Amino acid sequence: MVQIPKQSAGRPAPVRRPVPTSADVARLAGVSRATVSYVLNNTSAVRISEPTRRRVREAAEELGYVPHAAARSLRAGHSRMVLMPAPAVPVGPLYHRFFAELQSELGRLDYTVVQYGSVGLRGDEAARAWAELRPVAVLVPGSGLGPQGVAVLKRAGARAVVTLGPERVEGAHALLMDHDRVGHCAGVHLLSRGRRRIGVVMPEEGGLEIFSRPRLDGVRRALRDTDAMVAELPLAYEEEAAARLAGRWRSLGLDAVFGYNDEYAMLLMRALQDEGVAVPDETAVVGADDLMLGRLLRPRLSTVHLDLPSGRDLAELVDRAVREPGAEPETHEVLGARVVHRASS
Amino acid sequence: MVQIPKQSAGRPAPVRRPVPTSADVARLAGVSRATVSYVLNNTSAVRISEPTRRRVREAAEELGYVPHAAARSLRAGHSRMVLMPAPAVPVGPLYHRFFAELQSELGRLDYTVVQYGSVGLRGDEAARAWAELRPVAVLVPGSGLGPQGVAVLKRAGARAVVTLGPERVEGAHALLMDHDRVGHCAGVHLLSRGRRRIGVVMPEEGGLEIFSRPRLDGVRRALRDTDAMVAELPLAYEEEAAARLAGRWRSLGLDAVFGYNDEYAMLLMRALQDEGVAVPDETAVVGADDLMLGRLLRPRLSTVHLDLPSGRDLAELVDRAVREPGAEPETHEVLGARVVHRASS
DNA sequence: TTGAAAGCGTTACCAG
DNA sequence: CTGGTAACGCTTTCAA
């Protein structure tokens, strides 16, 4: 780790000049504050002479004037800020791509997306912190927001609250992402490949239970009313842990494993191969996320491909909700899942 | 892709109640707004009777009152918001881990971290947008912020501007991340392994030149004054592209390749193997980022391990700068790079 | 112990 | 066409 040495300041602050305001611009341009506002906002309802416009612009330029967003939205009574708390759990590249697209699409609709780091806070306490910013919409990934929280946000003026998570929350729009489906997909696939004793990797890394638990349940659901069985396999994301698990693999008597996602699946698959366990003959392996890397191992990794909602669709949902705040909250099942069958299963 | 169907609102908005203010709380509790402020902020300079406190708290609770952050910071004249524009280019898991840690550490120091999605804007135009939020500090990843931009931010009251990128910017603290080093590392390593004709993968995905160009330069620098040569290898992150490149590999006459990062390196290494090119005997392969996945391929991927600055160190730098705004801007070289030699080279 | 009032930077309204 | 004035929600100083 590169250290940043701690320096102590040498000389004292030179000059701390106050931040220029529109009044300063007005003074310098020799006009009123109202005129400054008109000119800088290109207000079309009022005609300002060209020389005046120029003087104002030059004054603003000279002072380095930048309007104060807080003052503006205080005055306006609303903002176009869409708040999105940073997800509490480590998320993968899929989510980051989704978020980047969402941000860009909302930007196109003239919203400002702000990702807010609310560490430590949780539940309705977090909701209060978000409400203080008076966002016009709030997008909450994961669970943790209750009906109380939604109410707080709405009372604070949020015209749309959208949850992206496993369950509907009273009063909020819901983009349901039920990871049960992912496991179910994998389970059905393995079953159809003739497997009957199926291991399911459960990451030991904190926070991932939110995803791993429903995925496990999905596998269980796929196997209900069959003669197949499921075994939970706790696993840390480390080579040694995978090697240990592989070392006792034969004693587990499993003929297939769902690896939680591609990364854990690849880790385990490699460990199995190093242990001499034949994939897929002796044990089939399935991951999830459809990462490029899964295609590079041999055998190529079978996987569950996830479809997240398009950023554009979500952006439009938000925009609709903002414009029609009284409308009934929408609920959409947005997590698509389908097996991509490759050589490992 | 899962579609979100477009619904039209059925019934009109039920009731749009105004957002409760401290005045509403005061009215309900039968006290003045000042008293409300004292109670809710636990102002120690003033003594308020316990019954009054209770009445105020209950009133706030009943109305679902949440203070208005903008109004508060307008009045206070400053905020504790640390603004961090979202990086414009796709960044990897390393960056995301770094950012999460930074956020958590700044949160510990009682700053509020906000990641701001400024798509489309660039350079000093973006700086103005950021300045409107009057953040107490701004952390700018990548290049694109000029001295002008720094000046704008400072005039708008930012007490610390920190760039994380390839070069120092006048007036700002700089965490230099010179990716030249990464390539240099790889080049020196390959040279020492006796390689003389070295390919360097240049991702075709947009935006990555910011990193790939200096990495290439670093390889070149390592090979200066030797008899070794460098060849640029444009490559899209797709199996077919890698296969095509591998198909004409022997005609290139290279005995080593630096794959830009682990992902591109793995993609290419697999394609080379599929083409029958022996790794490392015929061609050595080196990646960068030291991802876990690189250890799972055979041969295991050699890589350049990157050390980003610790979130804690950066958080402390920010805090110091905020408290001592007149201090000389600090410059630190924070990108550590070292080769992790495995079997592919 | 509480209350009245000023003021933070903007913009909308309404006279001039 | 332009300029004064009020108001957004909050905190804080001063006075009662």
At residue A86, the 3 state secondary structure works out as coil
pLDDT along chain A (345 residues), means of 10: 45 62 91 89 81 90 93 92 88 87 92 85 87 96 90 95 94 95 98 98 93 97 97 97 98 97 97 97 97 95 95 95 91 95 97
Partners of residue B335 in chain A, C-beta under 8 Å: 2
Protein-proximal positions, strand D, CB < 7 A: 1-13
User: Which chain B residue has its CA at the smallest distance from A150's CA?
Assistant: B64
Closest residue in B to A103 (Cα) is B117
Q: Is B316 helix (H, G, I), strand (E, B) or coil?
A: helix
Measured in angstroms, what separates residue B52's CA from nucleotide C3's C1'?
14
Q: Which nucleotide is nearest to A51 (CA to C1')?
A: D1
Say yes or no: A7 contacts chain B, CB-CB below 8 A: yes
| List of residues 6+ apart from A76 with CB closer than 8 A | none
User: Is B132–A4 a contact, with Cβ atoms under 8 angstroms apart?
Assistant: no
Name the DSSP letter for residue B292.
Answer: G
| CATH superfamily for domain B22-67 | lambda repressor-like DNA-binding domains (1.10.260.40)
Output Rg (C-alpha) for chain A, integer angstroms: 27
pTM: 0.89
Subset of residues 17-76 in chain B with CB less than 7 angstroms from any atom in strand D: 18-19, 21-23, 33-34, 36-38, 40-41, 43, 46, 65, 67-68, 71-72, 74-76
Tell me if chain A has a CB within 8 Å of the CB of B114.
yes
Tell me what the mean pLDDT of segment B79-105 comes to.
89
At residue B10 the predicted structure's pLDDT band, cuts being 50, 70 and 90, is: very low
- CB contacts, 8 Å: A63 with chain B: 155
Cα-based angle B235, B238, B241 (whole degrees, multiple of 5): 50
For the record, the structure tokens of A47 come out as 């005609």
Q: What is the pLDDT of residue A3?
A: 52
Residues 188-217 of B with CB under 8 A from A: none
Residue in B179, B161, B157, B186 with CA at minimum distance from that of residue B265 = B186
Per-residue pLDDT at B1 exceeds 70: no
Residue A158 Cα, gap to closest chain B Cα (Å): 10
What is the DSSP-derived secondary structure letter of residue B325?
T
Kindly state whether A75 is in contact with chain B, defined as any CB-CB distance less than 8 angstroms.
no
Alpha carbons B287 and B302: distance in angstroms, whole number:
6
A78-176+309-333: CATH topology: Rossmann fold (3.40.50)
Cβ B212 vs Cβ B272: under 8 Å: no
Residue B23 CA to residue B26 CA, distance in Å, equals 5
Question: Of the candidates B215, B223, B164, which has an alpha carbon nearest to the alpha carbon of residue B191?
Answer: B223
Asked if B155 reaches chain A (Cβ–Cβ under 8 Å), the answer is yes
Q: For residue B307, what are the β-bridge partners?
A: B336
Over residues B55-61, mean pLDDT: 94
- Evaluated on CA atoms B253, B254, B260, B264, the torsion sign reads positive
Kindly determine whether residue A119 and residue B103, on different chains, have CB atoms separated by under 8 Å: yes
A14 in contact with B, Cβ within 8 Å:
yes
The B residues from 20 to 49 touching A (CB cutoff 8 Å) are 20
CB B263 within 8 A of CB B323: no
Please determine whether the domains at B22-67 and B180-307 fall in the same fold group of CATH. no
B156 touches strand C (CB under 7 A): no
Check whether the bond before A85 is cis (ω within 30° of 0): no
B154 touches strand D (CB under 7 A): no
What's the CA–C1' distance between A70 and C4, in Å? Answer: 26
Select from B4, B20, B175 the Cβ nearest to the Cβ of A334: B4
* Sign (positive or negative) of CA dihedral A281, A284, A285, A290: positive
Of A5, A63, A336, the CB nearest to B2: A336
- Chain A contact for B284, CB < 8 A? no
| Separation in Å, CA of B31 to nearest CA in chain A | 22
The predicted structure's pLDDT at residue B18: 82
Separation CA A340–CA A120 (nearest Å): 38
Q: What is the mean pLDDT of residues B245-263?
A: 97
For B152-170, the pLDDT digits (tens) are 999 999 999 999 999 999 9
Average pLDDT over residues B109-132: 87
Q: Which helix (H) or strand (E) holds A312?
A: helix A311-323
The protein footprint on chain C, as nucleotides within 7 A of a CB, is 1-5, 7-13
Chain CA centroid to CA B24, Å: 42
Please provide the DSSP assignment of B124-150 as one string.
HHHHHHHHTT--SEEEEESS---HHHH
Residues of A in contact with B239 (CB under 8 A): 292, 295
Instruction: Determine the pLDDT at residue B11.
Output: 36
Q: What per-residue confidence (pLDDT) applies to A91?
A: 82
> How many angstroms separate the CA atoms of A219 and A87, rounded?
25
Q: Does B221 touch chain A (CB under 8 A)?
A: no
* Cα separation values, A316 from A173, B4, B7, B291, Å: 13, 9, 11, 36
**Residues facing B137 on adjacent strands:** B82, B160
CA distance A38 to A56: 10
Distance between CA A139 and CA A172 in Å, rounded? 10
Categorize the per-residue pLDDT at B46 as very low, low, confident or very high, splitting at 50, 70 and 90: confident
Based on the number of CB atoms within 10 Å of its own CB, is B321 exposed (0-12), middle (13-18) or buried (19 or more)?
A: buried
- Give the domain ranges of chain A: 22-67, 78-176+309-333, 180-307
Token pair of A80, please?
A: 């176009």
Cis preceding-peptide flag for B299 (omega within 30 of 0): yes
CB contact under 8 A, A64 and B151: yes
Residue at shortest CA–C1' distance from D5: A34
CA–CA separation, A26 vs A24, rounded Å? 5
Q: Place domain B180-307 in its CATH homologous superfamily.
A: Response regulator (3.40.50.2300)
DSSP SS3 for B86? coil
pLDDT at A16 (0 to 100)? 63
Half-sphere exposure of residue A337: CA atoms within 13 angstroms, side-chain side: 24
Q: A266: which chain B residues are within 8 Å (Cβ-Cβ)?
A: 293, 296
Range among A79-93, B4-18, B194-208 with highest mean pLDDT value: B194-208
- pLDDT, residue B274, reads 96
- What torsion, rounded to 10 degrees, do the Cα atoms B55, B58, B62, B68 define? 90
Contact residues on chain A for B299, CB-CB shorter than 8 A: none
A13, A19, A106: residue with CB nearest B157 = A19
pLDDT of residue A49: 84
CB contact under 8 A, A152 and B14: no
Using 50, 70 and 90 to split pLDDT, how confident is the model at B89? confident
Structure tokens at A143: 């669970």
Distance B108 CA to C3 C1' (A): 37
Decide: B197 and B253 in contact? Cβ < 8 Å. Answer: yes
Peptide bond into A135 cis (omega under 30): no
Q: Could you tell me which residues are beta bridge partners of residue A164? A: A141, A175
| Phi/psi of residue B262, nearest 5 degrees | -60, -40
CA angle A62, A67, A68 (to 5 degrees): 135
Interface of B with A in 132-151 (CB under 8 A): 132-134, 151
Specify the pLDDT at position B96: 87
Q: Give phi and psi for A158, each to the nearest 5.
A: -65, 125
Task: Please write the tens of the pLDDT for every residue from B211-231.
Answer: 999 999 999 999 999 999 999
Residue closest to B141 by CA, chosen among B88, B202, B81: B88
Residue B12, pLDDT > 80, answer no
In this complex, which of A2, A103, A324 lies closest to B86 when CB atoms are compared?
Answer: A103
Count of other CB atoms within 10 angstroms of residue B145: 25
Cβ of A292 within 8 Å of Cβ of B74? The answer is: no
A21 min Cα distance to partner chain B (Å)? 10
Chain B hits for A89, CB-CB cut-off 8 Å, are: none
| pLDDT of B59 strictly over 70 | yes
pLDDT of residue B15: 52
Q: What is the pLDDT of residue A206?
A: 82
Note the CA–C1' distance, A86 to D10, in angstroms.
28
Return d(Cα B139, Cα B82) in angstroms, integer: 7
Helix (H, G, I), strand (E, B) or coil at B44: coil
Tell me whether residue B127 is exposed, middle or buried, using C-beta atoms within 10 angstroms of its C-beta: 0 to 12, 13 to 18, 19 or more.
buried
- Computed on alpha carbons and rounded to an integer, the radius of gyration of chain B in Å comes to 27
Helix axes B239-247, B262-274, angle to 10 degrees: 50
Are the beta carbons of B327 and A7 separated by less than 8 Å?
A: yes
Phi/psi for B45 (5° steps) reads: -70, -15
Residues in chain B: 345
Q: Which residue do the tokens 């931010």 mark?
A: B153
d(CA A165, CA A331): 11
The answer to whether residues A241 and A233 touch, using CB atoms and an 8 Å cutoff, is: no
Q: How far is the CA of A178 from the C1' of D6 (A)?
A: 52
- DSSP category for residue B60: H
